[in-house]
Structure 1
Amino acid sequence: MAREKLSAVHVRQSPAGKYGDGGGLWLLKSGKDTGSWMLRVAVHGRLRHMGLGSIADVSLAEARVSAAKWRAVARDGRDPVQERERQRRDAARNLHLLEDVARDAFEARKAGLRGDGKAGRWYGPLENHVLPKLGKTPVADIDQILIRDTLRPIWKAKASTAEKAIQRLAIVMKHAAALGYAVDLQACAKAQALLGAQGHEVQNIPSLPWAEVPAFYASLNDGSATHLAIRFLILTGLRSAPVRLARLDHIEGDVLTVPADLMKGQKGKASDFRVPLSAETLEVIEEAKRQSRNGLLFASPRGLALSDMTLSRLMQRREMEARPHGFRSSLRVFLAEKGCPRDIGEMILAHSVMGKVEASYMRSDLLDIRRGWMDRWARFVTTGKDDAQADVPTTGQLIQMQAGAR
């Protein structure tokens, strides 16, 4: 190695320029008080230039030690630049960064999420509001202060999103603990205490009063896939996804069978959800079949499923506050006011009202009972009049039918 030429005084006082210390170590001064270290080595006949840090952070002695280390790597035939990057990656893996643990936690849970979590609703709050700030932080270093500072900007402005983000983060921390990492399982709860009350009220999705539904239904008369899909949504009481993704092979006679993975909260459960189809609903289906594509009952001009926004925009363009999902509320209030038993009303909307033990004995989905109420709803929606003598069961008949189902 060439004789060392620099001294600590030279490093401090030399003006801007390039100064060699021997053995490929160079001092690059950009000004009297600023500069950096650079190592030049040959690897398999190819020159490589490697930064060793600023003179403000790395002394001459430290630079010489570092240069000697990386020259030894080059003598072994390895590229010191690539080797340093590999070591950095290994070190990051050993730190168990939050972004890596979060991804692993999501992979462990996604089989239980609708559509395997591809829509991003579970991972989205983390990806958008937590990981950009804390993703590169080791999980062992995550505390309530970091969480508080990360979520404070949205804690009240986007209360619902912030609440989901901190709930998902708590799940990730539990996952890290299960992996054997040293984490504070109370960090999220402590952060919530520091953030305080959100001061928001849950906002229900706007809906039309049930008495106004017939007039709106009648206005959906252009025969387009969008109009027909909203009609179908109103008549069946389904959420948007089962309607937009309904397929021709989901329909058999006067029954629609919705696969469990299209039903909110049904992923991984044993049974699909059967929907009785009224005469009006069957007419909507027949009209939709004439323009169905790729097996989809309601398809866009490109043959794809309609988007959720497509349905919402129709109501927005009409300057309505109500949204498609709100028709489930319209139907539920109608059923309640017309005397539909609570359990049947909830079953029509695919809400779970039974505990595990009760559900194990209730082995019927009461399709025929639900059909009577859905027929009554369809007659009201299409005529604006309610047939009070509709063939729907009384509470006594309901009890008898439930007993027979056990």
Structure 2
Amino acid sequence: MRAKNRLSSSFVKTAPVGKHCDGAGLWLVKREDGGAQWVLRVTVHGRRREMGLGGFPSLGLADARKLAERWRNVVAAGRDPVKEREAEERAARREDISLAMLTADAFESRKAELKGDGTAGRWLSPLTLHVLPKLGKVPVTDLDQRDIRDTLAPIWHTKADTARKALNRISIVIRHAAALGLDVDLQATEKAKALLGKSRHVPKNIPAMAWADVPAFYASLEEPTLTHLALRLLILTGVRSTPLRKIQLDQIEGDVWTVPAESMKGRKGATLDFRVPLADEARRVIDLARPHERNGFLFPNARGGVISDMTLSRHMERRGLKARPHGFRTSLRTWLAEATDAPHEVAEAMLAHLVDSGVVRAYRRTDFLEQRRSLAERWADHVTGGAGNVVALRR
């Protein structure tokens, strides 16, 4: 029997379902749906490789043999035909290795790591706003530190945090391109950072209210409006604004509110939900908010969503206060440090801060719920004026 060219044109046209060898590693694979595929099997560096050459009848018998011979010659030269073809395809679509395309590809690869699969757009926004309008069409293999410097220089001192995030994202995209086998400069962002110099921007902390002043402010939230009730619950629980504004009734069971893991900021790599102990006063506020519930959300807005973070901030701004809603987390943390003997890890858990390494957390499988429940009641006592006094809401 011949080692090559075993099949005939007539047989190929009427071949039954199955695999049919033409010799020297070339096979015709006939599928049950009637379609057929040419496949070449070769051995490169002791490893079996299988590559599809094309479908029949668009690729006929004669052309399939010519194509198979070409890739056999590549193998004979000691090269991997699959990698060789991939390199040729990348070269043929050079316009597709632009920074914009690689950014989109890197984002798709990282979506699972981002909160809500990155739907909020915060991972991409530093690039889409400040980098891609200028460098989006530049092939990533041509990108160098001068390009990055010139792009970020206008915001390096004025929007330092955004510029830092943009530089970090560019580095991730370049590493992604390198992993795809593209010839990129992995040090480009570090070199750009050296050219840009040290930022003159001085970060400012979010203004916070002194914990001793919180009871007076809490007492002033006397109307059962969404804004007043949301601010009260924000103060009592110490959570961030986003999970508070998006709280749903089915997340509450008894005196525990379970915040979904995807709603928690600053807990990268964490897969567990976060349990928030609810003091008696917090549960009372929730009961007062129940009449406002819509679609399961405790603090809805008129457009079918939830109240915005600016709603809470503007309420405090209109009252002439420098403090902002997020600052109540600082108020609580300072109270824990100055007015209680709570251990450091328990105090940090009150604010859902991750402490210690992932290894330590893997062995210390507790969220200190009972200790935090006691502290939540004590904080509520302080906020309501002491000794568990209930601050009345005006109807």
For Structure 1 versus Structure 2, the TM-score category normalised by the shorter chain is 0.7 to 0.9
Counterpart check, 1:214 vs 2:210 = no
The answer for the alignment partner of 1:356 in structure 2 is 358
Asked whether the equivalents of residues 99 and 135 of structure 2 are also in contact (C-alpha less than 8 Å), the reply is yes
Give the aligned residue type for 1:375. Answer: E
Return the alpha-carbon distance in structure 2 between the equivalents of residues 199 and 91 of structure 1. Answer: 45
Return the alpha-carbon distance in structure 1 between the equivalents of residues 271 and 197 of structure 2. Answer: 40
How much does 1:96 deviate? 0.5
Counterpart check, 1:240 vs 2:241 = yes
Return the alpha-carbon distance in structure 1 between the equivalents of residues 94 and 113 of structure 2. Answer: 27
Counterpart check, 1:329 vs 2:339 = no
The answer for the alignment partner of 2:55 in structure 1 is none
Asked whether the equivalents of residues 260 and 268 of structure 1 are also in contact (C-alpha less than 8 Å), the reply is no
The answer for the alignment partner of 1:368 in structure 2 is 370
Asked whether the equivalents of residues 141 and 182 of structure 2 are also in contact (C-alpha less than 8 Å), the reply is yes
Asked whether the equivalents of residues 260 and 272 of structure 1 are also in contact (C-alpha less than 8 Å), the reply is yes
SS in 1 for 2:384: helix
SS in 2 for 1:122: coil
- Listed one character per residue, the Cα deviations across residues 208-228 of structure 1 (whole Å, up to 9, x for unaligned) are 011111111111122111111
The answer for the alignment partner of 2:13 in structure 1 is none
The answer for the alignment partner of 2:143 in structure 1 is 142
Return the alpha-carbon distance in structure 2 between the equivalents of residues 124 and 161 of structure 1. Answer: 9
The answer for the alignment partner of 1:315 in structure 2 is 316
Asked whether the equivalents of residues 260 and 267 of structure 1 are also in contact (C-alpha less than 8 Å), the reply is no
Asked whether the equivalents of residues 267 and 353 of structure 2 are also in contact (C-alpha less than 8 Å), the reply is no
Return the alpha-carbon distance in structure 1 between the equivalents of residues 284 and 124 of structure 2. Answer: 40
How much does 1:95 deviate? 4.8
How much does 1:110 deviate? 1.4
Answer with 310-319 or 246-255: which moved more. Answer: 310-319
Give the aligned residue type for 1:101. Answer: L
Asked whether the equivalents of residues 250 and 258 of structure 1 are also in contact (C-alpha less than 8 Å), the reply is yes
How much does 1:305 deviate? 1.1
Return the alpha-carbon distance in structure 2 between the equivalents of residues 364 and 163 of structure 1. Answer: 35
The answer for the alignment partner of 1:21 in structure 2 is none
Of structures 1 and 2, the larger Rg is shown by 1
Return the alpha-carbon distance in structure 2 between the equivalents of residues 93 and 246 of structure 1. Answer: 48
Return the alpha-carbon distance in structure 2 between the equivalents of residues 252 and 223 of structure 1. Answer: 22
Counterpart check, 1:340 vs 2:345 = no
Asked whether the equivalents of residues 235 and 374 of structure 1 are also in contact (C-alpha less than 8 Å), the reply is yes
How much does 1:122 deviate? 0.9
How much does 1:201 deviate? 2.3
SS in 2 for 1:157: coil
SS in 2 for 1:104: helix
The answer for the alignment partner of 1:51 in structure 2 is none
How much does 1:190 deviate? 0.3
Matches within 5 A, 1:233-272: 233-266=234-267, 269-272=270-273
The answer for the alignment partner of 2:166 in structure 1 is 165
SS in 1 for 2:292: coil
Return the alpha-carbon distance in structure 1 between the equivalents of residues 302 and 99 of structure 2. Answer: 43
- Superposed structure 1 runs of 4+ greater than 6 Å apart: none
Q: Quickly say closer, same or farther: Cα 1:256–1:151, change in 2 above 3 A.
A: same
Asked whether the equivalents of residues 261 and 268 of structure 1 are also in contact (C-alpha less than 8 Å), the reply is no
SS in 2 for 1:166: helix
The answer for the alignment partner of 2:280 in structure 1 is 279
Give the aligned residue type for 1:372. Answer: S
What's the TM-score, normalizing by structure 2? 0.73
How much does 1:357 deviate? 2.5
Q: Quickly say closer, same or farther: Cα 1:247–1:95, change in 2 above 3 A.
A: closer
Give the aligned residue type for 1:323. Answer: R
Q: What is the root-mean-square deviation in Å for CA atoms of aligned residues?
A: 1.6
- Listed one character per residue, the Cα deviations across residues 297-345 of structure 1 (whole Å, up to 9, x for unaligned) are 1111333211121111111222222111110000000000022211110
Asked whether the equivalents of residues 242 and 262 of structure 1 are also in contact (C-alpha less than 8 Å), the reply is yes
Q: Quickly say closer, same or farther: Cα 1:92–1:228, change in 2 above 3 A.
A: farther
Q: Quickly say closer, same or farther: Cα 1:137–1:229, change in 2 above 3 A.
A: same
Asked whether the equivalents of residues 261 and 270 of structure 2 are also in contact (C-alpha less than 8 Å), the reply is yes
Give 5+ residue unaligned stretches, structure 1: 1-89, 388-406
Return the alpha-carbon distance in structure 1 between the equivalents of residues 369 and 212 of structure 2. Answer: 25
- Listed one character per residue, the Cα deviations across residues 80-99 of structure 1 (whole Å, up to 9, x for unaligned) are xxxxxxxxxx9765450000
Return the alpha-carbon distance in structure 2 between the equivalents of residues 134 and 148 of structure 1. Answer: 11
Give the aligned residue type for 1:359. Answer: R
Matches within 5 A, 1:7-406: 94-266=95-267, 269-338=270-339, 339-383=341-385, 385=386
SS in 2 for 1:197: coil
How much does 1:133 deviate? 0.3
Asked whether the equivalents of residues 143 and 184 of structure 1 are also in contact (C-alpha less than 8 Å), the reply is yes
Q: Percent identity?
A: 57
Q: Quickly say closer, same or farther: Cα 1:186–1:386, change in 2 above 3 A.
A: farther
SS in 2 for 1:256: strand
Give 5+ residue unaligned stretches, structure 2: 1-90, 389-395
What's the TM-score, normalizing by structure 1? 0.71
Asked whether the equivalents of residues 95 and 139 of structure 2 are also in contact (C-alpha less than 8 Å), the reply is no
- Listed one character per residue, the Cα deviations across residues 118-172 of structure 1 (whole Å, up to 9, x for unaligned) are 1111110011000000001000111000100000000001111111110111111
Asked whether the equivalents of residues 99 and 136 of structure 2 are also in contact (C-alpha less than 8 Å), the reply is yes
SS in 2 for 1:257: strand
Asked whether the equivalents of residues 220 and 228 of structure 1 are also in contact (C-alpha less than 8 Å), the reply is yes
Give the aligned residue type for 2:160. Answer: A
